[in-house]
Amino acid sequence: MPKAIILRLESYLSYLAELKALGKTTATSQELANLFGISSSRVRQDMVGLGIVGRPHSGYNILDLQALIRDALDLNARKRMALIGFGNLGRALALSDIWNHGGFDLKAIFDQDTKIIGTDVNGIKVRSMTELFGVIKSESIEAACLTVPGAAAQQVVDMLATAGIKGIWNFSPTELNVPSGITVENQRLEQGLMTLSFKLKEVS
Q: Which helix (H) or strand (E) covers residue 37, if one does?
A: none
Alpha-carbon gap, residue 1 to 168, rounded angstroms: 18
Whether residues 102 and 168 share a domain: the answer is yes
Sequence-distant (≥ 6) Cβ neighbours of residue 135 within 8 angstroms: 82, 108, 110, 127, 141
Whether residues 15 and 67 share a domain: the answer is yes
Segment 36-62, tens digit of pLDDT: 788 888 888 888 888 887 777 678 999
CATH number at residue 61: 1.10.10.10
Residue 60's domain comprises 3-72
Alpha-carbon gap, residue 155 to 174, rounded angstroms: 12
Whether residues 14 and 63 share a domain: the answer is yes
What's the number of domains the chain is made of? 2
Whether residues 66 and 116 share a domain: the answer is no
Whether residues 102 and 142 share a domain: the answer is yes
pTM for this prediction: 0.85
- Is residue 132 a contact partner of residue 161, using CB atoms and an 8 Å limit? no
Contacts of 197-202 spanning 24+ positions with Cβ under 8 A? none
Alpha helical stretches, state H, 39-188 = 40-50, 62-72, 88-94, 132-138, 150-163
Segment 70-113, tens digit of pLDDT: 999 999 999 999 999 999 999 999 999 999 889 999 999 999 99
Boundary (domain end) residue, out of 15, 40, 72: 72
Alpha-carbon gap, residue 92 to 98, rounded angstroms: 10
Boundary (domain end) residue, out of 42, 72, 102: 72
The span from the first CA to the last CA of the chain, in angstroms, equals: 37
Q: What's the whole-number average pLDDT of the chain?
A: 91
